[in-house]
A = this chain, B = another copy of it.
Amino acid sequence: MLLSRSKVMEEVTGAQIIAEALKSQNVEYMFGIVGVPIIEVAMAAQVAGIKYVGMRNEQAVEACRLYSKFAARPGSLAMIPAVVEKAVRSSIYGRPGACYIDIPGDMVNGRVEQTSVRFPSCCPPPPVSLASSQEIAKASRVLREAQRPLLIIGKGAAYGRAEKGIRELVEVMGLPFLPTPMGKGVLPDDHPSCVSAARSRSLLQADVVVLLGARLNWMLHFGFPPRFSPHVKVIQVDLCAEELSNNVRATVALLGDVRAVVGQLLQSFRSDPWRYPSDSAWWVTLREKMASNAQISKRLALRTTLPMNYYTVFQHMAELLPRDCIIVSEGANTMDIGRTMLHNHYPRHRLDAGTFGTMGVGLGFAVAAAVLERSQQTGRRVVCVEGDSAFGFSGMEVETMCRYKLPVIIIIINNNGIYSGVGPETWREMEKMGELTTVAPPVTLLPEARYEQVMCAFGGRGYLVRTVEELRSALQQSLADIASPSILNVLIDPASDRKQQEFPWLTRSSL
| Interface set of A (CB-CB < 8 Å, partner B) | 2, 29, 32-36, 39, 42-43, 46, 51-54, 56-63, 66, 70, 75-76, 82, 86, 89-90, 93-94, 104, 106, 120-121, 123-124, 126-132, 135, 239-242, 244-247, 249-250, 253-257, 260, 359-360, 371, 375, 389, 391-396, 399, 402-405, 418-419, 435-438, 440-446, 449-454, 456-459, 508
Contacts and interface: CB of A to CB of B under 8 A. Distances in A.
A250 B405 CA distance: 42
Contact of A392 (B32, B393, B399, B438): B399
A239 B241 CA distance: 9
A345 to B, nearest CB: 29
Nearest to A53: B437
B51 A438 contact: yes
A130 B256 contact: yes
A230 to B, nearest CB: 11
A3 B121 CA distance: 47
Contacts of A246: 86, 89
A363 to B, nearest CB: 11
10 contacts: A46-B442, A124-B249, A126-B241, A127-B255, A128-B132, A129-B132, A129-B256, A130-B131, A403-B436, A404-B436
A453 B457 contact: yes
A45 B126 CA distance: 44
Contacts of A404: 436-437
Given A46-B442, A94-B240, A124-B249, 16 more contacts: A36-B508, A51-B435, A52-B442, A53-B437, A124-B250, A127-B132, A127-B244, A127-B254, A128-B131, A129-B131, A239-B241, A391-B396, A394-B396, A396-B396, A399-B449, A405-B436
Nearest to A45: B442
A392 B29 contact: no
Interface pairs A-B: 7 shortest CB-CB: A60-B60, A63-B63, A453-B457, A56-B392, A94-B241, A51-B437, A42-B442
A132 B260 contact: yes
Nearest to A57: B393
B457 A94 contact: no
Contacts of A129: 129-132, 241, 255-256
Contacts of A121: 249
A457 to B, nearest CB: 4
Contacts of A130: 129-132, 256
A437 B42 CA distance: 11
Given A392-B399, A418-B35, A245 B89 contact: yes
A5 to B, nearest CB: 15
B446 A245 contact: no
A89 B240 CA distance: 13
